[in-house]
Amino acid sequence: MSARLTPFLFEEEHLVRSVTDAGDPWFVIADVCRVLGISNHRDAASRLDDDEKGVGVFETAGGPQEMVIINEIGLYTLILRSHGAITPGTFAHRFRKWVAGEVLPSIRKTGAYAQKPRVDAPGQAHAIRLMKELKRQTDPVIRQTIHAMLADTLMKLNLPVPALDDLGRAGPQPSNLSIRFFAAVAAAGGLKINHARDPRLLAVNMGELNRHASAGAFAVEMDLPMRRALKADPRYRGARTIRSAIDPRRTLKCWLFAHDE
């Protein structure tokens, strides 16, 4: 699956991204686990059935990125496994009621979920939460979405709208060479060539990458410009010889990158 993610906020501060495929909603499992307080989303994904999860390639501020996504059944499975999901008043219970009562019905009816910011007495508190999220968030697409929500809230409160650049900054943008590298990783199977034991890292052997990347269509030339571009990428974490998580009998030299999604 390859499409653009739609971001929205739960309780005005917890980011959840979704995508609709053939009319069915899918959610980024890393976001759902973050909301529910589940520390390891890869472990959570491994305990879901195959028909409850999938993998998609999505555009992010750092270029194309492979993410694990879950469908409606997988979403409910995660929620119900979390502490307090059926206890009124708990965070997990509020999240379940929000998903079941607002998000999914809206997607079924209109194909999307339109966030409705608060504009009553708590409106100022809502605006403050949005501004805090903007200062924390670096993805330019998500920042634009949140800023639009903030502008709508503040205008209805008859308050001035600060410029987007006054509320934090988007993260550094990758070069075209860096984008080509991560596109090659996605084309080669992404997680299937990741030798890192740490779920937060992506460890890629360049020779193996080129053998798998669409029969050479996305082959990466590791010349000096490419090396410089990758080292300048904000996700770069170094290059060293490691023991493979795919085959523990092998040691191989890998380039390491942050891989949080």
Band the pLDDT of 261: cuts 50, 70, 90.
Answer: very low
pLDDT surpasses 80 at 94? yes
Q: Of 261, 4, 1, which is closest to residue 112 (Cα–Cα)?
A: 4
CB atoms within 10 A of CB 168: 16
pLDDT, residue 174, reads: 61
- Cα separation, 175 vs 179, in Å, equals 6
pLDDT surpasses 90 at 240? yes
Under 8 Å CB-to-CB from 47, ≥6 apart: which residues? none
